[in-house]
Chains A and B, each alone.
Chain A
């Protein structure tokens, strides 16, 4: 596609429920990243996928968070048993390769846990 697409754009969920956030990167981009942007804070790295390599999950805040990337393209970030502190904007980005390029970001999913 022309840009990085994320869905849904907004999600309100009850505490304790599971949610899935989707990211469709730019076609041909081999690197995909998830970041979290909490109110008044910068961007927090969550997870990184590159081709068929094992993902870098070092930024995932707890074992309630997981992500997968199918076929080297679409990625899904899953949060199990959501908590109120999970409320944030979840941003996905992709890049052509992990070289000297910046990222192209999606518009994000705003998650609100009530």
Chain B
């Protein structure tokens, strides 16, 4: 079985400050890891993914995520947050030999001006 934990329901940061959204996962074998963002009344938009290679993955809108195998983590980061980054963020994982993505419960990010 595969699962994802996002330990924080909410993250609040000031604009211009670094933003981190935490994610840990559990999966058999090597993971495929993803981050998605959901704006109000919209579907999920793909941000970035880790398949193999460099542990630091860069994605859309200045976001990046670091894969840490020993800690089974895939935290999302942005060096300088914008008010427009306020949204709901989902981490997801799938196993190498599976097709279903398992999602975390989501983290609501609020960036205040």
- Interface positions of A (Cβ within 8 A of B): 4, 6, 31, 33, 35, 41-43, 45, 48, 50, 56, 91, 93, 98, 100, 102-108
Contacts of B103 in A (CB 8 A): 35, 42-43
**Distance (whole angstroms) from the CB of A95 to the closest CB of chain B:** 8
Q: List 18 A-B contacts (CB under 8 A).
A: A4-B43, A6-B43, A42-B103, A42-B104, A42-B106, A50-B99, A56-B99, A56-B100, A98-B99, A100-B32, A102-B36, A103-B46, A104-B46, A105-B43, A105-B45, A107-B41, A107-B42, A107-B43
0/1 per residue, B76-113, Cβ < 8 Å to A?
A: 00000000000000101000000111111110000000
A48 touches B99 (CB 8 A): yes
Residue tally, chain B, CB below 8 Å to A: 21
Shortest 8 CB-CB contacts between residues of A and residues of B? A98-B99, A105-B43, A42-B105, A43-B103, A107-B43, A105-B44, A100-B51, A42-B103
Indicate whether B63 reaches chain A with its CB closer than 8 angstroms: no
Contact for A42 among B32, B49, B51, B90, CB less than 8 A:
B90
Contacts of A56 in B (CB 8 A): 99-100
- Interface positions of B (Cβ within 8 A of A): 32, 34, 36, 41-46, 49, 51, 90, 92, 99-106
**Distance (whole angstroms) from the CB of A35 to the closest CB of chain B:** 8
Contacts of A102 in B (CB 8 A): 34, 36, 46, 49, 92, 101
**Distance (whole angstroms) from the CB of B54 to the closest CB of chain A:** 15
Give Cα A53–Cα B47 distance, bound, in whole angstroms: 30
Give Cα A50–Cα B106 distance, bound, in whole angstroms: 27
**Distance (whole angstroms) from the CB of B44 to the closest CB of chain A:** 4
Q: Which residue of A lies closest to B52 (CB)?
A: A100
